Structures are given as structure tokens and as C-alpha cells.
């Protein structure tokens, strides 16, 4: 091994854990994280190595007003009063945009209320076992997965969408005992078309702490028109 030619040895796992990759290099590494369990374990090992550096991080007293703000934002009563004006504003905007559509495009308006057909995916398990259905309902912007997916003991099953760029994005952790209903963010709904890949990975309870899959893929499949 020649240390002057670092390309000869692969340190991608360490680079991903350290966070130095960006753009296409990061996307390639994230794809590999999904596809290669040994690589995923290597990334996890590097993360644990780097974690010890947190002890060196200098502390800085947070200003008191931030503490108050945070405490207020989790208090149930103030929460509704804080969110209500925003919700009312959003509703007014939606109403205004509907009105515009009706005024400008009267013929197209009925499409707004006509629900499109659901898309389905069969999530085939990596190990033996039954496939798990996932149903995307465009009318409600909801992805539904029935109860019954057995995640490994002491772990959570996290669902990912993998778009055309191949980069996994979390959709949330599957409920263990009940069916899972995931509200898809309006900005993401356009991506829920035939061919979108979905995958379930094994993660620490509560989901990946990093925003990318850290454990092996348990099941996967593609959306198709039903």
C-alpha cells in the first residue's frame, strides 16, 4: 500500500461518518449505505469513533430567552394559540388559490376534487417472509402500511423513499402494533409516482439519529399503478 495514493484504499465510510462528502459523492455513499450492510456497519463504527470528540466541544451558555421560548413552544395551551393564526392564514391562501383556479380555469376545476387512483408497492423482505403492502393515496396525500411488519427486537423499522437521485429520505418509523399512516409533505407528493422506490431499514429505536439509513435493509419495493 502506498500512502501517497489514498485512492487505493477505501475510506468512504469514514468520509461519510465525518460528513466531508457533498453532492454526487455523498449521494453515491448514501446509495451504498442502503445496499451494503457491511459498509453500513463500517459507517456506524466510524461514527462511534468520532462521537468521542463531542467531549472537547466548548460549551456556551444559551441565552435565557431561548429557554423560555422552548418551554413555551411545548406547552399545550400556548401551542394552539400560536399555530391558529398561521393555520387560518394558510386556509385563506388555499381558498384564494381555489377561487383563482375557478375564475381562470373553470374547466379544470373539477380535477381538484376528483381523486386519482391509489398507487401500491409490494415491499419484499430481504429475509424469508411475506411481502408487505404499501398504499399511496394521492387524494389524501397519505401513505398507508398495515400493521404486522416485525422489526428486529429492540430496533425500529424506518421507511425511506428513494427517488430518481437514489438518495434515501426518511418517511418515518413504522408503528409496531398498529397500521402506519404517513402524511406526505405537499412538496414531496409529486414524487409519489409509479417507479418510486420504498425501503425499510433496521434502525435504533425511534429511527436513524443521522437522517440517513444506518442499519441493514429489511424490505423494499417500487410503487406501481393499481
d(CA 125, CA 223): 15
178 conformational bin, left if phi > 0, alpha if psi -120 to 50, beta if neither: beta
Q: Pick from 24, 38, 61, 107: which binds another protein (CB under 8 A)?
A: 61
Cβ within 8 Å of residue 67, ≥6 positions away: none
As a residue count, the chain comes to: 226
Nearest approach in angstroms of CB 150 to another protein is: 18
CA distances from 37 to 128, 147, 215 (A): 17, 26, 7
Nearest approach in angstroms of CB 174 to another protein is: 12
Nearest approach in angstroms of CB 125 to another protein is: 23
- With beta carbons less than 8 A apart as the criterion, state whether 198 and 180 touch: no
Kindly state whether residue 186 participates in binding another protein, applying the rule CB under 8 A: no
DSSP 62: P
Look at residue 153 and give its three-state secondary structure.
Answer: coil
Kindly state whether residue 75 participates in binding another protein, applying the rule CB under 8 A: yes
Kindly state whether residue 148 participates in binding another protein, applying the rule CB under 8 A: no
Kindly state whether residue 59 participates in binding another protein, applying the rule CB under 8 A: yes
- With beta carbons less than 8 A apart as the criterion, state whether 134 and 147 touch: no
d(CA 126, CA 149): 13
Kindly state whether residue 165 participates in binding another protein, applying the rule CB under 8 A: no
Of 52, 28, 32, the residue nearest 43 (C-alpha): 32
Kindly state whether residue 213 participates in binding another protein, applying the rule CB under 8 A: no
Piece of the chain touching another protein by CB under 8 A; list 53-61, 93-101, 114-122, 185-193: 53-61
Q: Which is nearer to another protein, 15 or 137 (CB)?
A: 15
Kindly state whether residue 20 participates in binding another protein, applying the rule CB under 8 A: yes
Cβ within 8 Å of residue 109, ≥6 positions away: 101, 102
Piece of the chain touching another protein by CB under 8 A; list 49-57, 103-111, 122-130, 187-195: 49-57
10 Å Cβ neighbour count for 30?
A: 22
Q: Which is nearer to another protein, 186 or 206 (CB)?
A: 206
Q: Which is nearer to another protein, 58 or 115 (CB)?
A: 58
Kindly state whether residue 206 participates in binding another protein, applying the rule CB under 8 A: yes
Q: Which is nearer to another protein, 50 or 84 (CB)?
A: 50
Q: Which is nearer to another protein, 129 or 209 (CB)?
A: 209
Which residues bind to another protein, rule: CB under 8 A? 3-4, 6-7, 9, 11, 14-15, 18-22, 47-63, 66-67, 69-71, 73-75, 154, 156, 173, 204-207, 209-211
Amino acid at each position: 500500500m502506498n500512502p501517497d495514493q489514498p485512492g487505493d484504499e477505501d475510506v468512504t465510510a469514514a468520509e461519510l461518518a465525518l460528513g466531508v462528502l457533498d453532492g454526487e459523492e455523498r449521494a453515491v455513499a448514501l446509495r451504498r449505505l442502503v445496499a451494503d450492510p457491511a459498509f453500513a456497519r463500517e459507517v456506524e463504527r466510524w461514527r462511534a469513533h468520532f462521537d468521542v470528540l463531542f467531549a472537547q466541544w466548548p460549551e456556551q451558555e444559551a441565552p435565557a430567552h431561548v429557554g423560555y421560548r422552548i418551554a413555551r413552544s411545548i406547552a399545550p395551551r400556548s401551542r394552539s394559540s400560536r399555530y391558529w393564526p398561521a393555520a387560518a392564514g394558510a386556509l385563506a391562501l388555499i381558498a384564494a388559490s381555489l377561487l383563482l383556479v375557478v375564475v381562470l380555469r373553470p374547466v379544470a376545476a373539477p380535477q381538484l376534487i376528483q381523486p386519482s387512483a391509489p398507487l401500491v408497492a409490494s415491499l419484499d423482505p430481504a429475509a424469508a417472509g411475506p411481502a408487505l403492502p404499501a398504499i399511496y393515496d394521492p387524494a389524501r396525500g397519505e401513505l398507508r402500511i398495515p400493521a404486522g411488519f416485525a422489526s428486529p427486537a429492540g430496533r425500529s423499522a424506518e421507511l425511506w423513499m428513494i427517488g430518481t437521485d437514489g438518495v434515501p429520505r426518511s418517511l418515518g418509523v413504522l408503528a409496531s402494533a398498529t397500521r402506519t399512516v404517513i402524511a406526505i409533505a405537499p412538496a414531496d407528493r409529486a414524487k409519489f409516482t409509479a417507479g418510486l422506490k420504498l425501503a425499510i431499514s433496521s434502525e435504533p429505536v425511534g429511527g436513524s439519529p443521522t437522517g440517513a439509513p444506518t442499519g441493514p435493509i429489511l424490505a423494499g419495493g417500487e410503487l406501481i399503478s393499481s
